[in-house]
Chain A
Amino acid sequence: MTVTQKLTMAHFRTPLFNDWCPGCGDFGILSSIQMALAELQIEPHRVVVFSGIGCSSKTPHYINTYGIHTVHGRPLPFALAAKLANPDLTVLAVGGDGDGLGIGAGHFVAAGRRNVDITYILYDNGVYGLTKGQASPTLRRGLKTKALPRPNLNDAVNPIALAVVCGYTFVARGYAYDTRHLKELIKLGIQHKGTSFIQVLQPCPTYNDLHTKEWYAGEDRIDPETKKPIPRLYKLEETGYDGEVKSPSDEEAVAKAVEAIKKSYEWGDRIPIGVFYRNPYVPSYDQRIASVAPIYLQSPPAQQPIRTRSMKPVANVSPLFDELRVHY
């Protein structure tokens, strides 16, 4: 079967009413995903978008691909398994910062060790929106967003640094309102053979009154000469930064990882977005399985015959019984 029709963003939209708040950063991320899929011309039925729980995790319902809205904090286990079961699928996982780094932190860490070929997009707005604005794991200590009765007492986790040390082989950061840039990051993530992690900075117009669109745009900082705001965000690729590991050497991988982590601590007046780290030399999980069971690549779980047309099982377990057979 061949694709005769060129896929556009419209093919990836569902007719559902979208119930996110007006101005929510989620919209920009949703569009970026749809644009990326359309530009990559991946047929909708070959894509699965998994999500956790929260506002952002409603994303799959708005995308016309398979959409699996899972359990709070656990889109990754579902997504990894589906990809391993059928490697022909293009698998994306999406979820909020509370979902991925709070309740799902264990899965976030474990996924980094595996390098299954999926793309994980973390919507980071610093708050738990759907439960009315509690502090999320990425909200910095001492900050008091408007729904908090007291300033936040916890330190924030650094998603980029965490992803790097966990072993993610593609680590990037985008901004929800820069959809062209974000779309490109998502495309790179999907094309990367391994687990791609994309943190997306995203205002929550309802509950995060600190990291607003205006704040990111630097509207509180007017350049005295140009009389224009000085944006906080800047693009790594425009500064000559290159996070890509260019050789299969551990030494280079470590050096690039350290550089990425250092970069990830920039915050406040200058906030980098772009690709922090990329290492194409780490074997993906399907290759690791194939190293112990070469048959896997040819015959992954979802593509194996398990029975005949007459419903008989096809596996031959006689050798297993023979090992246990009593010989008189």
Chain B
Amino acid sequence: MGKNGKKKFTLSWMIGGAQGSGVDSSANLFSYSIASAGYYVFGKREYYSNIKGEHSYFNVVASDSPVRSTVDSVHILASFDAETVFRHAWEVEEGGGIIYDVALENERLRNIPTIEERVKAEVAERLKNENVGETLRDVLTVAKRRGVRVYPIPYMDLIKKTGEIIGEQQLTLLLRMVNTMAVAASFAILKADINRLHRGLSYAFRAKKAVVDMNFTACKVVYDYVKDNFSDDFPITLPNRKNDEDLILVNGTTIVGIAKIVAGCRFQSYYPITPAADESVYLEDKQVFNLNPVSDGDEYEYPHLAESRQLSDKGHILVFQSEDELAAIDMAIGASLAGVRAATSTSGPGFSLMAEGLGWAGINEVPVVVTVFQRGGPSTGLPTRHEQGDLLFTIFAGHGEFPRIVIASGDMTEAFYDTIKAFNYAEKFQVPVIHLLDKSLANSTQTIPIPSVNEVLLDRGLFINEHLDGKTYKRFEFTDDGISPRAPLGTRGAIFWNTGDEHDELGHISEDPVIRTRMMEKRMGKLEIIKESIPASDKIATYGDPGAKDWIISWGSTKGPILDALEMLEEEGVGPIGFLQVKILHPFPAELCLETLQSAGRIIDIEQNYSGQMGRLMAMETGLRPTNLILKYSGRPFTSTEIRDAVKEVLARNTKRIVMNRGG
């Protein structure tokens, strides 16, 4: 049951098509339009490492309460190519519907080059078992046998009709609207308000009014066609509903980008890589922004370095595309040395190269933020697919020992605040901070409350703007807590040296064993300071029954499907189950985990990797070992239903290791 005792309503909608044919924009159109009708949405994007032609799809779940994940089954499958139907018709629930292009009914499975042989064999087997042929029509016949509704749409006729209305005869131009039409057909079936599609079109196509108007005409043509030609008995309807929450529809790369601007990040370097590059491209697009007027009694804090400059009412983030990731992290460090809050953003392969620069930042105590959107590894791995495989690597990357902080966000809202915290931690403790995100967060879209910027504070730690007391400035001065006042390059009176070699307090090379020992202790000792200073609520989060015997442990974006699964389990009367989400992975909050799990009987570790990396980390840090593992490394994120089923299996049979593999 939902929180108010009312059963949560959800709609699972999917659209698919060849990459480059507008699957993304149609999913954005649907998501925004449905959100604008008052629903919460969560959308998952799946695509190949390919520019044009391979199959991509978008699964959107809409609900009357906040939704954080997708489910395995689909209520409406919207398509405009044959491949989508061949691949996904099987996921459509009884009573659900399939929207397809009537002109494709005779398409044959074997003629679709982009379906893998294994998938083809699987589909062929299903069709054979049903004693039908191998055309699209046969797939639909089988679907109908299961009670699935089918909605053949004569896209070509409707496109021509639209062309007549708007006075456009160029077919190639008109054909581009077929994806929009599949969305409009969905709206008609769901009896949703067509006018919301107009808002969705403005969102999906931004300011291009002519495109919006043309597409809206196409929407109306399809909407009316569906209303006139099919019975209106679809079991799910989406009437406009009142929603009082101020929401944005956003994906993970965008929310991190916005947070960086808020955080005062004014330099970001990157080398193009999927799925991280979207964040940098977004920032480059939004590089100039306005500054807030200050409230009474407050004023802007201008860096001392700005002595000769005019004051400005605008801000600017410099986004730099470097020649490789070796340079990307080094550039972020260079900018940080100059006093700028600086970051770089990458994915696994790029982070591998950054290990070198990370160590340099470590020994020189340079605050730098590395945003890592994990994807399937090792090597190039699964460039466009999801995985949480880099946890142990980010914690241990680099030779030698140096302090760092590794934080992982569980959802978009956490990603926003964590981004800001990452910069605060970096400057306060003068360490590199790795912010772990993943492909699922990067490319999913979700309605979330607008983050509250008013609550944000920027803590720059011991950042000094001038050093004029005449004493020799020591960048690495030994202090009680190991943190030394940090001046930016260019500060009068504060000349210092940095070196990747071990160094003395001034920053000059030193191989003196006594200095070496003290410097190691100065740096590594900061890990204890970090542990003491960061509040518990930033380190872990717990959900569910604190007295539960069965505990789930996890980290990162598995949070969404786990929470949705827990709701389902509660509804089914399964439980009580606790859920411990670890948010700061390094330094590891060992005491908090021990405390939380002290009365736990079963510790069920749910992660998207092969070896249960956080479970191993926890064992190392606390001695507590997970009793059961629920893992997935197929490159597709967990669905909530998948976690629900796996947890039930663990509870029923105490299965030690369950590997899930749902989703295409």
Contact = CB atoms under 8 A, between A and B. Distances in A.
A99 B22 CA distance: 47
Contacts of B453: 313, 317
B190 interface: no
Nearest to B303: A303
B489 A326 contact: no
Interface string A35-71: 0000000011110101001000010110011111111
A70 B294 contact: no
Given A77-B327, A81-B320, A301-B338, A309 B298 contact: yes
Nearest to A45: B492
B489 A301 contact: no
Contact of A311 (B262, B332, B458, B491): B458
Interface string B331-372: 111110111111000000000000011001000000000000
Contact of A326 (B32, B303, B308, B501): B32
Given A304-B312, A309-B301, A71 B458 contact: no
B248 A16 contact: no
A296 B288 CA distance: 9
A82 B493 CA distance: 19
B300 A308 contact: yes
Contact of B338 (A64, A67, A86, A292): A86
Contacts of A325: 246-248, 450
Contact of A303 (B250, B305, B326, B508): B305
Contacts of B492: 1, 43, 45
A66 B495 contact: yes
Contacts of A45: 490-495
Interface stretch (A20-28, A104-112, A268-276): A104-112
Contact of A69 (B327, B457, B499): B499
A233 to B, nearest CB: 33
Nearest to B458: A307
Interface in B528-555: none
B318 A84 contact: yes
B459 A311 contact: yes
A14 B292 CA distance: 45
B298 A69 contact: no
A82 B497 contact: no
Contacts of A1: 492
Contacts of B342: 81, 85, 301
A302 interface: yes
Given A46-B490, A289-B318, A85 B495 contact: no
B266 interface: yes
A100 to B, nearest CB: 14
B300 to A, nearest CB: 4
Interface residues of A, number: 71
Nearest to B330: A77
A247 interface: no
A65 B288 contact: no
A219 B417 CA distance: 69
Contacts of A79: 334
B337 to A, nearest CB: 6
Residue among A43, A310, A316 with the highest chain B CB neighbour number at 10 A: A316
A77 B322 contact: yes
Nearest to B260: A315
Contact of A315 (B291, B301, B332, B500): B291
Nearest to B496: A66
Contacts of A67: 496-498, 507
Contacts of B320: 81, 84
Contact of A313 (B246, B312, B456): B456
Given A53-B500, A70-B500, A81 B335 contact: yes
A320 B457 contact: no
A74 interface: yes
Nearest to B447: A326
Given A66-B495, A77-B330, A296 B490 contact: no
Nearest to B475: A66
A203 to B, nearest CB: 24
A227 interface: no
A6 interface: no
B243 interface: yes
Interface string A104-127: 001101100000000000000000
Contacts of B37: 328
A105 to B, nearest CB: 10
Contacts of B456: 312-313
Contacts of B287: 292-293
B330 A74 contact: yes
B299 interface: yes
A84 B267 CA distance: 9
A78 interface: yes
Interface string B490-529: 1111111111110000011100000000000000000000
B491 to A, nearest CB: 6
Contacts of B488: 86, 302
5 contacts: A67-B498, A68-B499, A81-B331, A320-B289, A328-B243
Given A48-B489, A70-B330, A85-B338, 12 more contacts: A60-B497, A61-B508, A68-B498, A70-B360, A77-B331, A77-B334, A89-B489, A106-B327, A110-B327, A298-B312, A309-B299, A313-B292
Interface of B: 32, 35-38, 199, 240, 242-243, 246-250, 254, 258, 261-264, 266-267, 269, 286-292, 294, 298-303, 305-306, 308-310, 312, 314-318, 320, 322-324, 326-328, 330-335, 337-342, 356-357, 360, 447, 450-451, 453-454, 456-460, 488-501, 507-509
Interface of A: 1, 14, 16, 43-46, 48, 50, 53, 58, 60-61, 64-71, 74, 76-82, 84-86, 88-89, 106-107, 109-110, 289, 292-293, 295-296, 298-317, 319-321, 324-328
